[in-house]
C-alpha cells in the first residue's frame, strides 16, 4: 500500500494508542498511589464474604457454550461474506441479488436445521 | 507532517478527550436521571447540582488499594482493563459528528466500528478467566456467549444502511440520508426494525440492562469485575459508558441521519441525536429487569437473527426494484 492509502489510518492509531495509553497510565497510577496493606485474607478470592469454595475455578464447563461458539463462527463468517456484496450491490443488480438469494437461503436452511436439532435451546 | 495528517491527529486527541468528558457527564446524568425516576434527588453535594460527583468518584477510586488475588493470572489480570478502554474508545475515531468534525472518515468505517466493537468481548473474558474466581469465570463465559451471539444480528442490521447507501463510509451513509431520507423514515418498514435490532444488539454488546448478564450483581457479586479494585475497576465501569455513548453515536449516524437537521449546525444535531439515544438506553436500564440467560439466547437466535436475514433481503429487494 502507498503511504497515501494508509494516511486515514493514522488517526485511528492515534486514538487507539491514546485510549490504551490512558488506561495503562491510570492503572499504574492506582497501583502507585493506593495504600499497600496486603493480608492473607485480602488476597484470596471474594465470594460474597463466605469462605472461598474449594478447588480451582478453571474446571470443565457446560457444552452449550461450545455450541454457541460454533454457531457464531458459522453465522458470523457468512455475514462477513455478505459485506463486500452489500457494498457492491448496486453495481451487481439482479445478478448479485440472485446469487446472494441462493447463499441466504442456504444460510436460513442451516439455521432451521440447528433450531430443529435443539442447539438454540439454552436450557435443555 | 502534512496538513491532513495533522488535522487527523488533532481531531483524534480532541475526540478522545471529548468522549471521556462526555462519559464523566454521562455518569452524573445517569445517576440524576435514575434518581428522578425513583423520586430521589441523586447527587447534590459535590459541585453545583452534584456535577462534580464523577470527579469525586474518580479521586476516591484512585486512593484505593490495588489488589491482585494470589491465584490470579497477574499478567492477563493487569492487561485487560486498559484493553477494555481501548476497545470502547476505538470506535469513536470514525464517527462523523459533522461533515468536517471526524478524526478519520475511513472508507471501511462500518466494518471498523463492528470489528473494534467485537474486541470488547476479549477484556471481559480475560478478566473472568484471569481472576480465577468461579463467579467471575461464570460471568465471563456468559458474557462471551451473549456478545458473540448478538454479534450476528448486529452485523446483519448494520448491513441494511450499507445496502441502501452502497457504501461502508459513515460520512457517505449520512450524506445519503441528508440528500434523501433518514433510513428510519423511508423506507421505514426496513429502516425502523433494523434500527431496533441494531440498538438491542449494541446494548447487548455493551452489557447494559436488560443484557447485563456478565455483571448480574444480584447473583454473581459483580461478575467479571469482582476481583478488581481502584482504577482497574473504574476502567471497566467507564468502558461500559463509553461503549454506550459511541454505540448511540453510530446508531444516530447509520439510521437517524447523523448531522442532518434544519436550522442548527450539523454538529448540534449529531450531539442531540446521540444524547437522545443514550437517554433512551438509560430509560430502558432503569425500567426493565434483567433477562435470564436462556431468554437472552432465545431472543437472539430465534428472533433477531431470522429477522436480520429478512431485513437484509428486504433492503436488497428495495434497492434492486427501486434503483
Per residue of chain B (323 residues), give pLDDT as tens: 466 677 778 888 888 888 888 888 888 988 888 888 888 888 888 888 888 888 888 888 888 888 888 787 888 888 888 898 888 888 888 888 888 777 788 888 899 998 888 888 888 888 888 887 888 888 888 888 888 888 899 999 999 999 999 889 998 999 988 888 888 887 888 999 999 999 888 888 876 655 666 566 666 666 777 778 788 888 888 888 888 898 899 999 999 988 888 888 888 899 999 999 988 888 888 887 777 778 888 888 899 999 999 999 999 999 888 87
For an interface test with B, give the residue of A19, A20, A43, A120 to mutate (most B CBs within 10 A). Answer: A19
Taking the C-alpha atoms of residue A29 and residue B185, their distance in angstroms, rounded to an integer, is 48
Single pTM value for the model: 0.89
Task: Tell me which chain A residues have a C-beta less than 8 angstroms from the C-beta of B11.
Answer: 11
pLDDT of residue B211: 66
Q: Nearest CB to A122: which of B81, B137, B293?
A: B293
pLDDT of residue B198: 92
Q: What letter does residue B302 receive in the DSSP assignment?
A: I
CA dihedral (A24, B95, B153, B30) in degrees, to 10, reads 70
Rounded to the nearest angstrom, the minimum Cα separation between A2 and chain B is 15
Q: What letter does residue A60 receive in the DSSP assignment?
A: -
* Residue A72 CA from chain centroid, whole number: 10
Taking the C-alpha atoms of residue B121 and residue B241, their distance in angstroms, rounded to an integer, is 15
Does the distance separating the beta carbons of A90 and B323 come in below 8 Å?
A: yes
Taking the C-alpha atoms of residue B278 and residue B268, their distance in angstroms, rounded to an integer, is 16
Cell of residue B152, nine digits: 450476528
Handedness of CA B129, B132, B136, B138 (dihedral sign): positive
Task: Tell me which chain B residues have a C-beta less than 8 angstroms from the C-beta of A100.
Answer: 316
Please tell me whether the interface predicted TM-score (ipTM) of this complex is above 0.90.
Answer: no
Strands (E) across B100-237 are located at: none
Are B176 and B165 contacting, i.e. CB atoms less than 8 angstroms apart? yes
Domain boundaries, chain B: 62-321
Closest C-alpha to B100, from B201, B230, B10, B188: B10
Rounded to the nearest angstrom, the minimum Cα separation between A80 and chain B is 8
Nearest chain B residue to A20 by CA: give it: B86
Q: What is the CA radius of gyration of chain A?
A: 25
Q: Nearest CB to B62: which of A22, A30, A61?
A: A30
pLDDT of residue A113: 92
Q: Which CATH superfamily is domain A3-117 in?
A: NADH:ubiquinone/plastoquinone oxidoreductase, chain 3 (1.20.58.1610)
Rounded to the nearest angstrom, the minimum Cα separation between B26 and chain A is 18
Rounded to the nearest angstrom, the minimum Cα separation between A117 and chain B is 13
For an interface test with B, give the residue of A5, A18, A93, A100 to mutate (most B CBs within 10 A). Answer: A18
For A99, how many CA atoms within 13 A lie in the half-sphere containing its CB? 11
Amino acid at each position: 500500500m502507498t503511504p497515501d492509502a494508509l494516511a486515514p489510518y493514522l488517526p485511528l492509531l492515534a486514538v487507539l494508542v491514546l485510549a490504551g495509553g490512558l488506561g495503562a497510565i491510570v492503572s499504574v497510577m492506582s497501583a502507585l498511589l493506593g495504600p499497600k496493606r496486603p493480608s492473607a485474607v485480602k488476597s484470596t478470592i471474594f465470594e460474597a464474604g463466605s469462605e472461598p469454595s474449594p478447588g480451582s475455578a478453571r474446571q470443565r464447563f457446560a457444552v452449550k457454550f461450545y455450541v454457541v461458539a460454533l454457531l457464531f463462527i458459522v453465522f458470523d463468517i457468512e455475514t462477513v461474506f455478505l459485506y463486500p456484496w452489500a457494498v457492491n450491490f448496486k453495481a451487481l443488480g439482479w445478478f448479485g441479488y440472485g446469487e446472494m438469494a441462493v447463499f441466504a437461503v442456504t444460510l436460513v436452511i442451516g439455521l432451521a436445521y440447528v433450531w430443529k436439532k435443539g442447539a438454540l435451546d439454552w436450557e435443555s | 507532517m502534512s496538513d491532513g495528517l495533522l488535522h487527523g491527529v488533532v481531531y483524534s486527541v480532541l475526540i478522545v478527550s471529548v468522549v471521556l468528558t462526555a462519559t464523566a457527564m454521562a455518569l452524573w446524568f445517569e445517576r440524576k436521571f435514575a434518581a428522578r425516576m425513583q423520586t430521589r434527588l441523586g447527587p447534590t453535594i459535590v459541585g453545583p447540582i452534584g456535577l462534580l460527583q464523577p470527579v469525586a468518584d474518580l479521586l476516591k477510586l484512585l486512593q484505593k488499594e490495588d489488589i491482585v488475588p494470589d491465584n490470579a493470572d497477574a499478567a492477563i489480570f493487569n492487561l485487560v482493563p486498559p484493553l477494555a478502554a481501548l476497545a470502547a474508545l476505538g470506535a469513536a475515531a470514525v464517527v462523523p459528528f459533522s461533515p468536517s468534525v471526524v478524526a478519520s472518515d475511513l472508507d471501511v468505517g462500518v466494518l471498523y466500528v463492528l470489528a473494534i466493537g467485537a474486541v470488547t468481548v476479549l477484556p471481559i473474558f480475560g478478566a473472568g478467566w484471569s481472576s480465577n474466581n468461579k463467579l467471575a469465570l461464570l460471568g465471563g463465559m456468559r458474557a462471551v456467549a451473549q456478545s458473540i451471539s448478538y454479534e450476528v444480528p448486529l452485523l446483519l442490521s448494520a448491513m441494511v444502511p450499507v445496502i441502501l447507501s452502497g457504501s461502508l463510509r459513515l460520512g457517505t451513509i449520512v450524506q445519503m440520508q441528508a440528500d434523501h431520507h433518514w433510513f428510519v423514515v423511508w423506507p421505514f418498514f426496513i429502516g425502523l426494525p433494523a434500527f431496533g435490532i441494531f440498538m438491542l444488539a449494541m446494548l447487548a454488546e455493551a452489557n447494559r440492562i436488560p443484557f447485563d448478564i456478565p455483571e448480574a450483581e444480584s447473583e454473581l457479586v459483580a461478575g467479571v469485575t469482582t476481583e478488581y479494585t481502584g482504577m482497574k475497576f473504574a476502567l471497566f465501569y467507564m468502558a461500559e459508558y463509553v461503549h454506550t455513548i459511541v454505540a448511540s453515536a453510530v446508531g444516530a449516524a447509520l439510521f437517524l441521519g447523523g448531522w442532518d437537521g434544519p436550522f442548527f449546525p450539523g454538529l448540534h444535531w449529531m450531539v442531540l441525536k446521540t444524547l437522545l439515544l443514550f437517554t433512551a438506553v438509560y430509560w430502558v436500564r432503569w425500567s426493565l429487569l434483567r433477562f435470564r440467560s436462556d431468554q437472552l439466547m432465545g431472543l437472539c437466535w430465534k428472533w433477531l437473527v431470522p429477522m436480520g436475514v429478512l431485513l437484509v433481503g428486504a433492503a436488497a429487494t428495495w434497492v434492486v426494484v427501486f434503483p
